[in-house]
Structure formats: C-alpha cells, structure tokens
Amino acid sequence: MNLLQRLNPWRAKAESPLAHRHGSLGERAARDHLKGKGLKYLTCNFNSGRGEIDLVFRDEDCLVFVEVKTRSSEAWTRPARSVNAAKRLRLSKCALDYLRLLRSPQVKLRFDVVEVLLEDSVVVEIRHLPNTFTLSPPYRHG
C-alpha cells in the first residue's frame, strides 16, 4: 500500500475496477435494505475456500445466506438468473462450512437473493427474493 492509500483509503477504493465498486455498492445497499426489514446482520464475504457468501443474517430463528447480484442493466435477463446450479452448489457447501464453524447448530436456514439495479453508479432499485433455493442435493442440514 502506498503512502497516498494509507492517508486516504477512500481514494484507493475509488480507483478500483468499476465492477468491484458496483459489487461493493450493491452489497452495502442489500445489507442496509435487509437490516431495514428487521434482519440481524452477522457478517459479509464469508469465504470457506469452497465458495463465498456475500451476506449472512439472522431472521428470528433462521440463518439467512444472501447472494447479492448487482447489475447496471437487466436488458438481457434478471440478475438472479445468474445463480445457476453450479453457483447454488458452491453456496450450499459454503453455508455448511459456516454452520460447521458454529458447531452445527440445529437452526433453520434459507438462501435469499438480492438484486440491486444501478443507473450511473447509483442504486435505483433493490429486490429481495427470499428463500430463492434450498440446499443443493445431496446436502442436507439438521
């Protein structure tokens, strides 16, 4: 890290690639949106080595694993459609790794997708899609 980045960390972020800035913006917007709906924020960007979960929340007695999809256009397809079978499998494995770190509590869990739409790098719409998919076979919890 150079001296300029140490003195002004916000500037260093602004120089990151546009896609990364949009992704970070989308995750912050999704986090704030879900907190506003009463979910309790636990962590972000959990990486188990077998995948990464963007956000983890608690909704009463349920752990919620959230995949955030940020797009500046949905001209071709909805952002949530990019959460295909391979992505769901990676998210399932990562969620089970997260549960193992908690010593496998007997809790409900669900997978949500949050779509964040941008226009000129500004959030214009947030769509929360709760319980979008379940653990991928052959994985089961509980």
Tokens encoding 23: 């992704």
CATH of the domain at 35: 3.40.1350.10
Judge contact between 95 and 112, C-beta under 8 A: no
pTM of the model as a whole: 0.83
Does residue 142 form part of some domain?
Answer: no
Number of domains in the chain: 1
Does residue 129 form part of some domain?
Answer: yes
Does residue 138 form part of some domain?
Answer: no
What is the pLDDT at residue 76? Answer: 66
Does residue 42 form part of some domain?
Answer: yes
Q: 123: domain range? A: 3-133
For the chain, percent of residues with pLDDT exceeding 70: 82
What is the pLDDT at residue 131? Answer: 96
Tokens encoding 122: 């500004």
Does residue 29 form part of some domain?
Answer: yes
Q: What is the pLDDT of residues 99-139, one digit of tens each?
A: 999 998 889 999 999 999 998 889 999 999 999 999 877 66
Does residue 55 form part of some domain?
Answer: yes
Q: Is the pLDDT of residue 6 over 90?
A: no
Give the Cα separation of 90 and 47 in Å (integer).
11
Using CA atoms, how far residue 139 sits from 4, 66, 104, in Å, is 47, 18, 14
Q: Is the pLDDT of residue 47 over 80?
A: yes
* DSSP state letters, 41-100: EEEEEEE-SS-EEEEEEEETTEEEEEEEEEES--SSS-GGGG--HHHHHHHHHHHHHHHH
What is the pLDDT at residue 141? Answer: 58
Q: Of the candidates 35, 55, 34, which has an alpha carbon nearest to the alpha carbon of residue 44?
A: 55
